[in-house]
Structure formats: structure tokens, C-alpha cells
């Protein structure tokens, strides 16, 4: 770490796995640049302070019951959190600010997840600069504010389902249909507040995004938001952080991978939020087994509806699974994707997972479930052309065929070659004088100037 610069940055992550990781990654970067770090977090999905001994952690009550935190309705969960955290956050930040003044320590700014929508009046009253961090692809974050208008019009749904959505590329009409099925009034109101919170901030930080991945959307976002935008790229390449996983990874998958041939394994994981039915899990297990390729399948506890874990997979399938595959409850994903044995990634296309796969040059099979995953999958299959889209078909024959196409056939070789070129471009972006490197330098300078 560079010598302390006498400035403190306060971070406020959203308590979801895909939001905590990037925020703590940013904390690691800023600490390496000399900033002291304080993380304010909810008791729900609290990060482990022992994993980050150089940061100060302050926990606030979130007022949610166990039943409320178990909901699969993410919008409802986030709106409840935004309502219940206002007073505890105000009290915590005010005390922190007063304490810093007494000790003559300089608090540079607050950086919070873009989906916290209540912070502006408080930071304004404290005369504290406020930056927002988005864990979405730039294209989705910028484009999703048009959803309320598209929902009102509904005309798009009457047209060809394979057509592009002109107002929200590279989504297709059938993707938009799925997105618009999400809860309406609550979601639209929440999106409007996120947009307002973003436009009144001192800047937007996009983690894992860079010019090489999404240049057109970055240009549009700069025009529309009218605040500085920092696309700092997949900085975990240069700044490896301590684990911030809310789940305990099963490290036995690494020695298992060590025994497999190069580029032979299909890695399958659907992230920390996606849920599937018992029948979908069985189709996936059959398809993987029938492909006759080794596979590492992550089935998160509680991710299969009406099941505890994998007890619903028929014994016949489990026998085949044991012969060719391995099932774990959670995996150390970055380590898995780096492994020489992994030749493909069957993924839900969360943004973190998508970019991690790009960074390691692992081509993807796209099975998006909800929200921004649908757009990320279109980037993979239609824009970058570094993966194959399942188009929502969770059928054993389809999965068997696509695994074999990616790992064994000429089509897979072509996809792999394109992925290698994209990986090299993205990795160059975080090196000295690369686009993400320069953006990070501008961000550090800006925070230092507050």
C-alpha cells in the first residue's frame, strides 16, 4: 500500500453478493492508493470483517425479519431496505462525520451502491460529496430507465419477438417481454428514484466495465447523466481482494479439476440469486451427463424451488453424474475459471460472472434468468460473439448438444478464438495507459480533490 494520504472514504454496499464483491474490490483499490476505508453495512448479509483487516466496518440494523430477507422478489427486498435503513444510516454517518471533524480527519466522500436511493438529503446537509457505484453493465444501467415508458406503450410485444428493441439494444423483443413481466408500479417508481439519485451525484463508477466492452453506451451515459463517469474495468486482475463471498466455497473442486484434461470441463453456475425448478435441475443434470464431457455443477442451497439441495435428482442420473461430474454447493469461481481444465462456462450471465469469464478467456453458454442477465447474454452471443445462447431452452437434448458444440466442434474453436481476442483487449484496458487504468487514475484524482 502507498503511504496514507490522510483521507477517508466511506463505502455503503448493497447487501447482495453481486454488489458486495465489487464494492469491496473498489475498497481494496482505494486503500492501495492511500485512502483509509470505512464500510457501513447492514446486518443482513453482513460481510466478514476478519477477511478485510485493513478496513473499518460499521454495522447498522436493517429492521428486516428472516421471512422478509428470504423473499425471491428482489425489488421488494430492496425497497424495504431503503425504507428501513434511512434512520440507522443517518445516525451512523452523522456520528462518523462528527468524530472525523473532532479528530481533524478528512472524509473525502461517500460511495454507495446506485440502488440506495435515500442518501442525497443527508450528504447534502453534511456538505459531503457522494459518488454512486453501479454493478450493472453500462448499457443496462443506462438503458433500463426507459423501461417504464416501454411498459406503458406495450406495442413492442405485438411485433416480431426476434427483432431488436431499438430503444434498448442489443435486447430482443422476447428478452424485453421477460423483463417487463417483473413487478410494475413498485419497480418503475424505484427506477425513477435511482435515476434521480444518479443524476444528482458527483459521479458514477462502473466496476468491471470499460471502453472495450461497452464504448457506445458509455458515450450515451456521459451525455444523458451529465456527471463524470468512471469505467474502471475488471480491476480484480491487478488488485486481488480478500474473499467477500457470503457462501463457503467447496475447495475440493480444484483438485478434481487438476485430474481433468485441458479445456475439457464445462463449469455450470447460476450465481447467488437465480432460482430454478426441480424439473429444470433434472434436465440440466441429464444434459450434462449425456454430453459425456466432465462438468462441475454448482447448486446453491435453496436455489431449487421446493427442494433443500439435490435430493430430487433421480438416482439413475446421480450415478451418471458421479462418473463424469462433480456437484458442489458453491465454488471459488475466479479460481475455477482460471483453471486450465475449464473449457466453457454455462452461466446465468450476471455481470460479474460474465466479465470474469471474459477475463479468463472462457467462452460461455448463456442461460439468463432475469433482469440485466438477459442483456448481458445478448452481448455475449450477439455483440461480442464469444458464446452460444440457449434462448431459454432448458431441455436435456439441447444442453447435451450445445456443450458438445462448444467443447468439441469447429464452432467452439471459432468462439474460443474470438474470446481470446476479447480477453486480450479487456486485460490491456487495466494496464498502464489502458482505458480503464486511466479512468481509475481520474477517479482517484477526483476523490483526492474533494
The SS3 assignment for 261 reads: coil
pLDDT at 243: 60
Dist. CA 409–CA 151, nearest whole Å: 41
Residue 441 has pLDDT above 90, yes or no: yes
Strands, E, within 5-124: which ranges? 7-12, 36-42, 56-60, 106-113
pLDDT at 158: 54
The CATH-assigned architecture of domain 253-427 is 3-Layer(aba) Sandwich (3.40)
3-state secondary structure 3-40: CCCCEEEEEECCCCHHHHHHHHHHHHHHHHCCCEEEEE
Parse the chain into domains and list their residue ranges: 7-238+430-449, 253-427
Instruction: Enumerate helices (H) and strands (E) in the chain, giving the number of each.
Output: 19, 13
Instruction: Provide mean pLDDT across the span 128-133.
Output: 97
Residue 386 has pLDDT above 60, yes or no: yes
Instruction: Provide mean pLDDT across the span 48-76.
Output: 89
State the CB neighbour count (10 A cutoff) for residue 88.
17
| 312 pLDDT tier (thresholds 50, 70, 90) | confident
Mean of per-residue pLDDT scores for the chain: 91
pLDDT at 240: 65
pLDDT at 209: 94
| 108 pLDDT tier (thresholds 50, 70, 90) | very high
Instruction: Provide mean pLDDT across the span 192-220.
Output: 94
Residue 152 has pLDDT above 80, yes or no: no
What is the percent of the chain where pLDDT is above 70?
95
Main-chain phi, psi angles of 6, to 5 degrees = 80, 10
Residue 370 has pLDDT above 80, yes or no: yes
The SS3 assignment for 10 reads: strand
Q: Which grid coordinates are listed for 90?
A: 443517518
The domain defined by 7-238+430-449 carries CATH number 3.40.50.2000: yes
pLDDT at 378: 97
Q: Which residues, listed in sequence order, are joined to residue 133 by a DSSP beta bridge?
A: 113, 205
Residue 155 has pLDDT above 90, yes or no: no
Instruction: Provide mean pLDDT across the span 312-324.
Output: 85
Cα Dmax for the chain: 68
Q: CA of 24: how far to CAs of 1, 38, 41, 196, 243, in Å?
A: 16, 11, 11, 25, 9
Query: In the sheet where 325-328 sits, what is the strand order?
Result: 325-328, 295-298, 265-269, 342-347, 364-366, 387-389
Instruction: Provide mean pLDDT across the span 418-425.
Output: 97
What is the percent of the chain where pLDDT is above 90?
69
Return all residues near 303 (Cβ < 8 A) that are at least 6 apart. Answer: 270, 274, 275, 276
| 241 pLDDT tier (thresholds 50, 70, 90) | low
Instruction: Provide mean pLDDT across the span 285-311.
Output: 90
Residue 322 has pLDDT above 90, yes or no: no
pTM for this one? 0.92
Using alpha carbons, select from 351, 369, 16, 22 the residue that is nearest to residue 217.
Answer: 351
Strands, E, within 370-409: which ranges? 387-389
Dist. CA 25–CA 32, nearest whole Å: 11
Instruction: Provide mean pLDDT across the span 360-371.
Output: 96
The SS3 assignment for 239 reads: coil
Residue 318 has pLDDT above 90, yes or no: no
Helix, strand, coil shares of the chain, percent, nearest 5, are 50, 15, 35
Residue 393 has pLDDT above 90, yes or no: yes
Instruction: Provide mean pLDDT across the span 242-246.
Output: 64
pLDDT at 154: 64
Q: Which grid coordinates are listed for 408?
A: 468439441
Instruction: Provide mean pLDDT across the span 395-421.
Output: 96
pLDDT at 313: 83
Instruction: Provide mean pLDDT across the span 344-371.
Output: 96
Instruction: Provide mean pLDDT across the span 304-318.
Output: 84
State the CB neighbour count (10 A cutoff) for residue 278.
15
Instruction: Provide mean pLDDT across the span 68-95.
Output: 91
Instruction: Provide mean pLDDT across the span 202-208.
Output: 95
Instruction: Provide mean pLDDT across the span 370-388.
Output: 96
Using alpha carbons, select from 261, 271, 319, 317 the residue that is nearest to residue 293.
Answer: 261
Dist. CA 429–CA 431, nearest whole Å: 6
Q: CA of 149: how far to CAs of 27, 134, 370, in Å?
A: 36, 22, 19
Residue 339 has pLDDT above 80, yes or no: yes
Residue 135 has pLDDT above 90, yes or no: yes
Dist. CA 182–CA 163, nearest whole Å: 21
Dist. CA 202–CA 132, nearest whole Å: 8
Amino acid at each position: 500500500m502507498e503511504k496514507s494520504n490522510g483521507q477517508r472514504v466511506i463505502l455503503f454496499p448493497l447487501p447482495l453478493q453481486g454488489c458486495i464483491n465489487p464494492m469491496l474490490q473498489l475498497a481494496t483499490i482505494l486503500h492501495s492508493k492511500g485512502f483509509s476505508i470505512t464500510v457501513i453495512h447492514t446486518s443482513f448479509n453482513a460481510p466478514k470483517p476478519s477477511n478485510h483487516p485493513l478496513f473499518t466496518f460499521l454495522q447498522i440494523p436493517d429492521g428486516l425479519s428472516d421471512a422478509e430477507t428470504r423473499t425471491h422478489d428482489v425489488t421488494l427486498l430492496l425497497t424495504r431496505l431503503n425504507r428501513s435503513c434511512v434512520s440507522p444510516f443517518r445516525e451512523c454517518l452523522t456520528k462518523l462525520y462528527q468524530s472525523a471533524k473532532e479528530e481533524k480527519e478528512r472524509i473525502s466522500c461517500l460511495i454507495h451502491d446506485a440502488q440506495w436511493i435515500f442518501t442525497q438529503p443527508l450528504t447534502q446537509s453534511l456538505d459531503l460529496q457522494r459518488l454512486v457505484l453501479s454493478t450493472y453493465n453500462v448499457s443496462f444501467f443506462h438503458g433500463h430507465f426507459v423501461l417504464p415508458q416501454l411498459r406503458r406503450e406495450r406495442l413492442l410485444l405485438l411485433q416480431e419477438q426476434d427483432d431488436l428493441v431499438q430503444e434498448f439494444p442489443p435486447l430482443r423483443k422476447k428478452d424485453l417481454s421477460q423483463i417487463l413481466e417483473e413487478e410494475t408500479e413498485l419497480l418503475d417508481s424505484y427506477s425513477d428514484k435511482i435515476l434521480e439519485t444518479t443524476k444528482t451525484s458527483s459521479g458514477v463508477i462502473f466496476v468491471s466495465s470499460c471502453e472495450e466492452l461497452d464504448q457506445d453506451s458509455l458515450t450515451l451515459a456521459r451525455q444523458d447523466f451529465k456527471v463524470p463517469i468512471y469505467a474502471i474495468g475488471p480491476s480484480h486482475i491487478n488488485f486481488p481482494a480478500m474473499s467477500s463471498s457470503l457462501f463457503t466455497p467447496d475447495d475440493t473442486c480444484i483438485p478434481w479439476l487438476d485430474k481433468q484434461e485441458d479445456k475439457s470441463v464445462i463449469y455450470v453456475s447460476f450465481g447467488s440469486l437465480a432460482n430454478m425448478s426441480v424439473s429444470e435441475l433434472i434436465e440440466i443434470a441429464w444434459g450434462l451427463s449425456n454430453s459425456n464431457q466432465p462438468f462441475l455443477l454448482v447448486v446453491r442451497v435453496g436455489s431449487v424451488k421446493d427442494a433443500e439441495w439435490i435430493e430430487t435428482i433421480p438416482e439413475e442420473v446421480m450415478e451418471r453424474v458421479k462418473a463424469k461430474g462433480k456437484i458442489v454447493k458453491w465454488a471459488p469461481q475466479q479460481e475455477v475459471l482460471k483453471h486450465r481444465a475449464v473449457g466453457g462456462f454455462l452461466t446465468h450471465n450476471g455481470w460479474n460472472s460474465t466479465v470474469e469469464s471474459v477475463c479468463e478467456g472462457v467462452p460461455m453458454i448463456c442461460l439468463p434468468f432475469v433482469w440485466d442477465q438477459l442483456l448481458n447474454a445478448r452481448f455475449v452471443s450477439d455483440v461480442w460473439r464469444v458464446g452460444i445462447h440457449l434462448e431459454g431452452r432448458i431441455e436435456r437434448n439441447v444442453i447435451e448438444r450445445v456443450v458438445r458444440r462448444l467443447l468439441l466442434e469447429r464452432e467452439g474453436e471459432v468462439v474460443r478464438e474470438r474470446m481470446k481476442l476479447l480477453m486480450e483487449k479487456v486485460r490491456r484496458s487495466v494496464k498502464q495507459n489502458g482505458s480503464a487504468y486511466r479512468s481509475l487514475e481520474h477517479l482517484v484524482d477526483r476523490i483526492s480533490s474533494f
